[in-house]
Structure 1
């Protein structure tokens, strides 16, 4: 791969459980090309979400190397990781993670304000319009449907115009109609900002829209996909 935006080398993750250490990831080697859309699939407990969080610096690998945009995430402290994410990465979670005491507009504008953007609210309004929610800008999360909350979350992730979009089961908590709408929006935002998109999904129709799909099994890339992990 000539220009990878993400590279993982022998990445392992072990967490302490009640009965001792639990191996979550067991030696992941993979690269993601700039502008690529990669789907991560596999059974529950296979390590997909943990892998995604490591890519975003939200979880630290126990060992191995994680390179994102030329930075070794394993060598950065928490403040440096936060700065890198704030300007270069957008993350969309299954459960939205909106701030309940802030309006939709404020939720989208907050990361921009933290990054020092002078036009934070103007850009937030633009992103809400892009996901069809300009008429709900003054509403709080509790006043929005699940699909609307995920649209706000997408707008918030896209507002900094990140180089990398990470999505963890973005349609997992939604009904079929809302999920389909979110899928379309996710790919529209990717194209609009020219972002690299990596997503965890159980939805076959969402995985089918990716440029490449890797399957995880028991903390490893499935044997049949191992060669394609570094394509």
Structure 2
């Protein structure tokens, strides 16, 4: 494999619990190649979302090493991690995480403004049109359906042209039709931007679209499934 986009070596995550330390991730070693799509699957509590958070520097490993795009995330402080994510990663959550007092356009433009992009609102408008929300730009999240809110979240993640998309249960709060539409958009955006995609999902049909599926159990990699057919 050429230099991986994401590399974890014996990565561990232990958090404090009421009854003492809790091992969430127990020695994960994993490389993700440029342009690859990887699905993280497994039962609830297996560590899928925690592993995704380590990859994005949203959670700090308590052992081992985590690097993304050639940067050692374990060596960066919180401010440096935030700046690194802003320019390189698009993150999509199950619960959207939109700012309720901002319009769809403002939600998408905000990370671009923070990154110093002078054309932030033009790029945000283009991205909203790309996800089919050209007529909803001036609406607030409370005026949008769940599927529309997730489209805004996808546009926000894609607008900075990230090298890496991270998605945590992106269809988890949506009905079947909206989930299918978001799944198509997510893979289309990844392809348009030539990005690497890592996603957490319980949906077999979403995992089946990935090049590789990593199955976790009890904080460890239980199995890997390389999809031989084109997805």
> Which residue in 1 is equivalent to 2:112?
112
Q: Which runs of 5+ in 1 are unaligned?
A: none
For residue 79 of structure 1, report the CA deviation from its aligned partner.
1.1
Query: SS of 1:97's equivalent?
Result: coil
> Which residue in 1 is equivalent to 2:229?
none
> Which residue in 2 is equivalent to 1:225?
224
Could you tell me how far apart the structure 1 residues matched to 2:140 and 2:178 are?
19
Could you tell me how far apart the structure 2 residues matched to 1:7 and 1:106 are?
34
**TM-score scaled by length of structure 2:** 0.97
> Which residue in 2 is equivalent to 1:32?
32
Could you tell me how far apart the structure 2 residues matched to 1:4 and 1:165 are?
15
**TM-score scaled by length of structure 1:** 0.97
Q: Conserved in 1, the CA contact under 8 Å of 2:6 and 2:66?
A: yes
Could you tell me how far apart the structure 2 residues matched to 1:63 and 1:3 are?
22
Render the CA deviation track for 1:69-105: whole Å, top value 9, x for unaligned: 1100000011110111000000000000000000000
> Which residue in 1 is equivalent to 2:70?
70
Could you tell me how far apart the structure 1 residues matched to 2:54 and 2:144 are?
30
| 1:102-141 correspondence to structure 2 within 5 Å | 102-141=102-141
Could you tell me how far apart the structure 2 residues matched to 1:133 and 1:123 are?
13
Could you tell me how far apart the structure 1 residues matched to 2:19 and 2:135 are?
51
Query: SS of 1:126's equivalent?
Result: helix
For residue 2 of structure 1, report the CA deviation from its aligned partner.
1.8
Could you tell me how far apart the structure 1 residues matched to 2:178 and 2:5 are?
31
Q: Which runs of 4+ in 1 moved over 3 A?
A: none
| 1:1-231 correspondence to structure 2 within 5 Å | 1-222=1-222, 224-225=223-224
Q: Which runs of 5+ in 2 are unaligned?
A: 227-231
Could you tell me how far apart the structure 2 residues matched to 1:3 and 1:146 are?
38
Query: SS of 2:57's equivalent?
Result: coil
Q: Conserved in 1, the CA contact under 8 Å of 2:212 and 2:224?
A: no
Could you tell me how far apart the structure 2 residues matched to 1:100 and 1:22 are?
34
Render the CA deviation track for 1:27-62: whole Å, top value 9, x for unaligned: 000000000000000000000000000100000000
For residue 64 of structure 1, report the CA deviation from its aligned partner.
0.6
In the alignment of these two chains, the number of paired residues is 226
